[in-house]
Amino acid sequence: MIATCLNHVERLIPDASAAAWKDSLSSLVATLPRQFTTLPAINGHRAFRRAKPLSPKFHDFTILDAASSKVGEIRVKPSGVLWAPKGAHEWYGVDLDTFKNFMETQGKRQKK
């Protein structure tokens, strides 16, 4: 891949500055993180992409009452569910098994 990029640089910049561009490009590619991989060539060019897309560590949801006033926030994480009342600076949480059991025993059956 690097050789292909360097050949493109030499074709695009045929004068003496091509050597400088070639050195710059080589050092840039050498410093790329391992998490980047190459995609197949499109029109003779290769692109970079992340090996794994980054997923958020949590999702926050604001809970409003019938009068559209904020009641609190719910934070959903891979490990559990957290609750923060309006104006509070602390979160209260349960793990997923506890939340699942509570919802199955205490919750009302709903349509989507």
What span, in angstroms and rounded, lies between the C-alpha atoms of 37 and 53? Answer: 12
Per DSSP, 89 falls in state: S
0.75 surpassed by pTM: no
Q: How far is it, in rounded angstroms, from Cα 3 to Cα 14?
A: 16
Distance CA 98, CA 85 (A): 20
Q: Tell me: pLDDT of 64 over 60.
A: yes
Stretch 56-66: mean pLDDT: 92
Q: Where are the domains of the chain?
A: 2-50, 59-106
Given this model, what pLDDT does residue 47 score?
60
Q: Per-residue pLDDT tens for 65-102?
A: 999 999 999 999 989 999 999 999 999 999 999 999 99
CA–chain centroid gap for 52, Å, is: 9
